[in-house]
Amino acid sequence: MASVFERQLKRLGLYGLSRLATPPRTGPSESDLAKVRRILVVRPDERIGNAILIIPLLNALKKRFPNSHLSLIMSRRYWDLREFIPSVDEFIAFDKKHYARNPLAFIGLVRRLRRGDFDLVFDASGDHSVSFTHLSITGFSGGRFRIGHNRGETAHCYDVAVPVSEAPRHETERHLDLLRAITTIDADPRPLLGDVPDTGFASRLWNEHNWSGGIPTVIVHPGARGRKRWPALHFAEVARQLVTSGHQVGVVWGPADSEAAREMLSACPQDVKAIGVLAFRDFVSLIRHSDVFFSGDCGPMHLAAAAPPRVGVVTVFVIDGISRYGPLGPRDVAIVDEPGSPRIEAIVSRIAALAGRSQEAVHARSITA
């Protein structure tokens, strides 16, 4: 019953947007694009993976319009991520619960956006579902040209409604399609974080656990959302086999993954070290000094895959979404766990092979230095 009510409420909201938002125009001409000075990207989603996956679009916008002022609306939940995205000039924090409790605050946000006098506004929500939040911000932004994916009922909300690709296509490419719809671009689809000074967290951790820089190190994250979560005991068995074969293994997790982490660690030997929940900077420091990051399909996987310098990332997909959400690095491995697919021993072999190649590269650099 609640889902029916929610659908009716969303339909009513879409109708209101079509009546109140600025009427759509045709898309920008070459002359319009030559005058672009201010750009807004709307992506206040509260999942860190989705925030990471729009980085290629942000980088492409800055490359195509290097003299523009690029603004991003992002969730306050991942506010500390902004220092890793140097292509953005201005970050606008969004707190969905705050605006739901205080609609007048949302009106204040709309007024702020209208004062921004944006030439281009991109609704960077996923193309597989309608986000009323994204539509509201985009529709009321006052932007001269609004670009978003055409989901049928939302086509009238944009000046450029971009067709949704039915073919298998990575999420970063789908975001880049928004920009391709109005101009020609040469863009790297890989999410790449900007470099920031190391916090020294990894060095302190190595000292605390008496780890050696000459032994392959694997960081494991056992969490994921809902049906995407691989069993914690499977992670524990992978960690056990890695330690037995001479690897250093540490476990990190997010605030919502503590139960999975406890279950995993309770089944692990003492040599598997509990690291815990980390701030973004400390997480990136840890990844920089490790050889492989192993997890399910989760936000930290995207963060690890995007962190410089790039480590090997091995990901287990319980639900097959590799073509859309798999990591894109040259040393990344994505595996679907289904009948007939590689099991734990095969996964351990892939991790060990990646960790070994990483150690060989480190050794080669030390010889030539």
Measure the CA–CA gap between 318 and 171, rounded to whole angstroms: 18
Count up the domains in the chain and report the number: 2
127-173 pLDDT, tens digit each? 777 788 898 899 889 999 999 999 877 777 899 999 998 888 999 99
Q: Are strands 217-221 and 292-296 parallel, antiparallel or unpaired?
A: parallel
What's residue 13's pLDDT?
Answer: 53
Residue with tokens 């944006």: 118
**Of 180, 213, 230, which residue is a domain's last?**
180
Residue 160 lies in a domain: yes
Measure the CA–CA gap between 219 and 210, rounded to whole angstroms: 16
Measure the CA–CA gap between 124 and 175, rounded to whole angstroms: 6
pLDDT level of residue 359 (50, 70, 90 thresholds): low
Residue 4 lies in a domain: no
312 within 8 A of 333, measured Cβ to Cβ = yes
Does 162 share its domain with 34? yes
> Which residues fall within 8 angstroms of residue 54, CB to CB, at 6 or more apart?
41, 43, 124, 172, 175
What is the DSSP code string of 287-303?
Answer: HHT-SEEEEESSHHHHH
Q: Which of 33-42, 99-108, 153-162, 335-344 has the highest mean pLDDT?
A: 33-42
What's residue 99's pLDDT?
Answer: 86
What's residue 367's pLDDT?
Answer: 34
What's residue 308's pLDDT?
Answer: 82
CATH number at residue 83: 3.40.50.2000
Domain coverage including residue 300: 201-368
With a pLDDT cut of 90, the percent of the chain lying above it is: 70
Residue 277 lies in a domain: yes
Q: Are strands 333-336 and 292-296 parallel, antiparallel or unpaired?
A: unpaired
What is the DSSP code string of 276-338?
Answer: E---HHHHHHHHHT-SEEEEESSHHHHHHHHSSSPPEEEEEESS--HHHH---STT-EEEE-S
What's residue 203's pLDDT?
Answer: 95
Burial class of 355 by CB neighbour count within 10 A (0 to 12, 13 to 18, 19+): buried
253 within 8 A of 222, measured Cβ to Cβ = yes
Report whether pLDDT(363) > 60: no
Does 206 share its domain with 121? no
Q: Report which of residues 86 and 367 the model is more confident about.
A: 86
Residue 6 lies in a domain: no
State the chain's mean pLDDT as an integer.
88
Does 359 share its domain with 270? yes
Measure the CA–CA gap between 230 and 282, rounded to whole angstroms: 25
CA atoms within 13 A on the CB side of 107: 4
Measure the CA–CA gap between 206 and 82, rounded to whole angstroms: 27
Residue 220 lies in a domain: yes
Task: Read off the tokens for 305.
Answer: 């895959």
DSSP assigned state of 78: G
Task: Read off the tokens for 161.
Answer: 């409604």
Report whether pLDDT(50) > 50: yes
Residue 106 lies in a domain: yes
What's residue 368's pLDDT?
Answer: 35
Residue 69 lies in a domain: yes
Does 216 share its domain with 104? no
Measure the CA–CA gap between 326 and 333, rounded to whole angstroms: 8
Q: What is the mean pLDDT of residues 184-208?
A: 95
146 within 8 A of 160, measured Cβ to Cβ = yes
Q: What is the mean pLDDT of residues 232-244?
A: 96
What's residue 152's pLDDT?
Answer: 75
With a pLDDT cut of 70, the percent of the chain lying above it is: 88
